[in-house]
A and B are shown apart, each in its own frame.
Chain A
Amino acid sequence: MAEVRMPKMGDGMEEGTILRWLKREGDMVAVDESIAEIETDKANVEIPAEEAGPLTRIVAAEGETLAIGSVIAYIGAVPDEAPPSAPQPERAPATPTETGSAAPEAEAAPTTVSAADGGRIRATPLARSMARRLGVDLGKIRGTGGGVGRIVGKDVAAFAAAQPTEGTAKPSVRAEQTAVDIPLSRMRKAIARRTVLSKQTAPHFYLVIPVDMDRAVDTLDQLNAQAPDRKITVNDLVVKACAAALAIHPDVNVSYTEGETLRQHAAINIGIAVGTDEGLRIPVITDCADRSLRDLSDAARTLVGRTRRGELTPQEMSGATFTVSNLGMFGIEEFAAIISPPEAAILAVGAITPEVQPGEHGSLVVRKRMRLTLSCDHRAVDGLLGARFLQTLKGLLEHPVALLTT
Chain B
Amino acid sequence: MALMRYSEALRMAMAEEMERDPDVFICGEEVGQYQGTFRVTEGLMERFGPMRVVDTPISEIGIAGLATGAAMAGLRPIAEFMTWSFALSAMDQIINHAAKITYMSSGRITCPAVFRGPAGTGNQLSAQHSQSLESWYAHTPGLKVVLPYTPADAKGLLKTAIRDDSPVIFMEHAGLYANRGEVPEDPDFTVPFGEAVIRKPGTDVTIIGYSLMVRKCLTAAEALESEGISCEVIDLRTLTPLDMETILSSVARTHRVVVTQEEWRNVGIAAEIAARLADEAFDELDAPILRVGGADVPMPYARELERAAIPNEDHIIEAVRQVTR
Contact = CB atoms under 8 A, between A and B. Distances in A.
Contacts of A153: 255, 286
A146 B203 contact: no
Chain A interface size, under 10 / 10 to 19 / 20 to 34 / 35 or more:
10 to 19
Contact of B285 (A125, A264, A266, A267): A125
Interface in B199-240: 203-204, 228-230
Interface in A261-309: 261, 263-264, 266-267
A152 B287 contact: yes
A142 interface: no
Contact of B286 (A145, A147, A263): A145
A65 interface: no
Contacts of B204: 266
B286 A264 contact: no
A145 B325 contact: yes
Interface string B264-290: 000000000000000000111111100
Contacts of A125: 282-286
A147 B325 contact: yes
Chain A's interface: helix, strand, loop or mixed, by majority? mixed
B253 interface: yes
A124 B230 contact: no
B283 A128 contact: yes
B228 A152 contact: no
Most chain A beta-carbon neighbours within 10 Å: one of B203, B229, B230: B203
Nearest to B225: A266
A153 B286 CA distance: 6
A152 B255 CA distance: 10
Most chain B beta-carbon neighbours within 10 Å: one of A128, A146, A147: A146
Nearest to A289: B228
A147 to B, nearest CB: 5
A94 interface: no
Contact of B325 (A129, A146, A264): A146
B253 A127 contact: no
Nearest to B325: A147
Given A146-B325, A153-B255, A264 B230 contact: yes
Nearest to B251: A126
Nearest to B229: A266
Contacts of A145: 286-287, 325
Contacts of A266: 204, 228-230
B325 A124 contact: no
A271 B230 CA distance: 23
Interface string A115-131: 00000000011111100
Interface in B171-219: 203-204
A126 B286 contact: yes
Interface in A75-115: none
Contacts of B325: 145-147
B284 A126 contact: yes
Interface in B105-142: none
Contacts of A124: 255, 285-287
Nearest to B323: A146
Given A126-B255, A145-B325, A146-B325, A264 B283 contact: no
A389 to B, nearest CB: 18
Contacts of A126: 255, 283-286
Given A126-B283, A126-B285, A146-B288, 8 more contacts: A124-B286, A124-B287, A125-B282, A126-B255, A145-B325, A261-B253, A264-B230, A266-B229
11 contacts: A125-B284, A129-B283, A145-B286, A146-B325, A147-B325, A152-B287, A263-B203, A264-B203, A264-B230, A266-B204, A266-B230
